[in-house]
Amino acid sequence: MQKSEWIWHNGDWVAWDDATIHVTAHGLHYGSSVFEGIRAYATPDGPAIMGLDPHVVRLFNSCKIARIDVP
């Protein structure tokens, strides 16, 4: 993987070398995660997302089922 100057980590931009994860992180050991595919479409007025609210509801419900806290 090519190293970049900054990376998105825990809701903030941090320097690549400062982005760390605890060795006991559940996601690291067990691969716990949730996924909700959300498409954005180019429009003359800028990007548009159709049906965002139902996507967010499904994502949050998946997090609840997987016992993943949503910040």
Segment 18-34, tens digit of pLDDT: 988 888 888 788 888 89
Inter-residue long-range contacts of 10-16, CB under 8 Å, 24+ positions, other chains counted: 11/71
pLDDT at 10: 79
CB-neighbour burial class of residue 63 (10 A; exposed 0-12, middle 13-18, buried 19+): middle
Q: What is the pTM of this model?
A: 0.60
Conformation bin of residue 67: beta by default, left when phi > 0, alpha when psi is -120 to 50: left
Residues present in the chain in total: 71
**Among residues 37, 36, 39, which one has the least CA distance to residue 65?**
36
